[in-house]
Amino acid sequence: YLITNDLVVAGDIIICKPGHVETLTTASTFDIAGICVVFLGEGTSKAYVNLTATGAYLSITAAGITLLNPKFVTGIDAVAKGLQVAAADFAMYSAEYHDAAAKASTIQVLTTSAADRMVIDGYHYYVSTTGTQKTDGIKTVAGTGIVLKDIQIVGDFTTSPINISTAAVN
């Protein structure tokens, strides 16, 4: 809400308190460079993004955005992608992605070639064994200097849990 209504500026830190749920029914664009969003809480009290339509996802289109301790949850089956990174210097630390029972995402994280220097450090995927067939966990499309560290993805994927689909540099 704060970002889509231009209530923050570059350099701001947004803190989501435990128990907060941000429900997305369409694409929601993070288009303010240099912001940081912190998701507080642990377990079931952790603040999270609830994806409730197949076309709902978080779109990163500005450089230098950081997500700390984020949690994504599929609230409907066949979410096409949960997070799309289309800007440089995106970072995400200690992330969780949960597919609810019989509700799966086909792709959890998808990048464009603009996702240079993206860092995902600490990512845990909680799989649903039913629901739509998954294609990719994290799918990168080109990019320079991408770092994927401490990634835990399991499940049945038609392509790959981590898919470097187009040659990446460094």
Rounded mean pLDDT of 89-101? 96
Least Cα distance to 16 among 5, 27, 1 occurs for 1
Residue 161 confidence (pLDDT): 94
Residue 129 confidence (pLDDT): 82
Q: How confident is the model at residue 133 (pLDDT cuts 50, 70, 90)?
A: very high
Count CB-CB contacts under 10 A for residue 51.
30
Phi, psi of 99 (to 5 degrees): -90, 125
Residue 130 confidence (pLDDT): 87
| 6 or 86: which leads in pLDDT | 86
Encoded tokens for 46? 């952790």
Contact between residue 149 and residue 122 where contact means Cβ atoms under 8 Å apart: yes
Q: With 90 as the cut, is the pLDDT of residue 167 above it?
A: no
Encoded tokens for 32? 């303010």
pLDDT digits (tens, 9 = 90+) for 37-83: 999 999 999 999 999 999 999 999 999 999 999 999 999 999 999 99
pLDDT digits (tens, 9 = 90+) for 10-20: 999 999 999 99
Residue 53 confidence (pLDDT): 95
Contact between residue 90 and residue 110 where contact means Cβ atoms under 8 Å apart: no
Q: With 90 as the cut, is the pLDDT of residue 168 above it?
A: no
Rounded mean pLDDT of 118-129? 94
pTM of the model: 0.95
Q: With 90 as the cut, is the pLDDT of residue 170 above it?
A: no
